[in-house]
Amino acid sequence: MRILHHLPLSPQCRLVRLVLGEKRLPCELVIERVWEQREEFLALNPAGEVPVLVEENGLAVPGARVICEYLDEAYPDTPLLGRTLAERVEVRRLMDWFESRFAQEVTRNLLGEKVDKRLYGRGHPDGNVLRAGYGNMRFHLDYIGWLAETRSWLAGPSISMADFAAAAQLSALDFIGDVNWAKAPAAKDWYARVKSRPCFRGLLTDRMSGITPPGHYANLDF
């Protein structure tokens, strides 16, 4: 059986889980406590980070972007990177946008302060960093809303890895109750569409000790 080494609240891991689900590729999830730096895990990925996908034939594929490119090449039946050259540029541009810019400007400031700091024993959340994260999120939700209103899906006419990259970040923030959906109706409508897809179910049943997601987290009609 295919294995995904992951952490439940990691947006990169959630992106891969969504893509695996959308492509109907069964996968066993194994939690990897990356901070323990297990030698067997470092042999799979010298960078020591999740996600790492291990195929039944033993091929280890490390890193969300590498896994996404691999899955679309190895299992092309449900293409998620776009069809034309221009579509593929736009899907990858937006994946980069959410994996780099959104992750640094929003997710790191909120999830990083509230969860990672506690996990690694690095003290309490910094109010200034949280405020910056919430401010940046408003801008990003407006951008998502604008994209969703001018196209069928974020990167164009079909659902793509760009939608899953954005939804993966937002789903992790939604788990800790940090997304103010009321202020972003267009982004909320788009997120409801992604959230109602079968591939999303696994994320909605995630539970972690010490964190209770808000009531709307698993609700498709939030």
For a copy of itself, the binding residues (CB under 8 A) are: 45-47, 59, 61-63, 65-66, 69-70, 73-74, 85-86, 88-89, 92-93, 96-97, 101, 143
> Minimum Å distance from CB 124 to a copy of itself?
26
Q: Which is nearer to a copy of itself, 110 or 155 (CB)?
A: 155
> Minimum Å distance from CB 170 to a copy of itself?
19
Q: Which is nearer to a copy of itself, 147 or 184 (CB)?
A: 147
CB 171 within 8 Å of CB 205 = no
CB 181 within 8 Å of CB 214 = no
> What one-character-per-residue DSSP string does 81-131 give?
S-SSHHHHHHHHHHHHIIIIIIIIIIIHHHHIIIIIHHHTT--SPPHHHHH
Q: From edge to edge, which strands make up the β-sheet containing 52-54?
A: 28-31, 3-6, 52-54, 60-62
CB 123 within 8 Å of CB 140 = no
Q: Which residues pair with 3 in a beta bridge?
A: 28, 54
Q: Which is nearer to a copy of itself, 20 or 218 (CB)?
A: 20
Q: Which is nearer to a copy of itself, 47 or 208 (CB)?
A: 47
> Minimum Å distance from CB 143 to a copy of itself?
8
Q: Which is nearer to a copy of itself, 84 or 209 (CB)?
A: 84
For 221, other C-beta atoms within 10 Å of its C-beta total: 7
Alpha-carbon torsion (153, 91, 173, 11), positive or negative: positive
> Minimum Å distance from CB 100 to a copy of itself?
8
> Minimum Å distance from CB 101 to a copy of itself?
6
